[in-house]
Amino acid sequence: MNFTVEDAPGYTVVAGTGRLNMVQAPRLREVVAQVVADGHHHVVFDMAGVEFMDSSGLGALIGCLKLARQAGGDLRIADVNDQVRMVLKLTGMDRVLTPYGSAQEAFPDA
């Protein structure tokens, strides 16, 4: 899985491509931890390129959410596919990590 980081006004977009599974989940945590450590506390994980997510990926997202919130910010997800949406819904995590249509919609006031 490849990750890119791009600053936008008021938030930072982390985009991933590939499979967010137990192999790649630690890398997502590292990337988001670095973004937060650099002072960017409002983070959007753009999932347009994420083909698949398992429970390890979900755990990584929750860990990233905690990191951002502990820094006084938030982590939001955008552009999820049907498989990711189903994982969120089946686990009830869609109430905690509400999927947005795009990164811009995730932080509309930024």
Residues 35-80 pLDDT 10s: 999 999 999 999 999 999 999 999 999 999 999 999 999 999 999 9
Over the Cα atoms of the chain, what is R_g?
12
Residue 83 corresponds to which amino acid? Q
Per-residue pLDDT band at 109 (split at 50, 70, 90): confident
Asked if the model's pLDDT at residue 110 lies above 80, the reply is: no
Nearest in space to 22 (alpha carbons), one of 70, 54, 63:
54
Question: Mean pLDDT over residues 10-33, rounded?
Answer: 97
**Domains present along the chain, CATH in parentheses:** 2-101 (3.30.750.24)
Instruction: Please tell me the pTM assigned to this model.
Output: 0.94
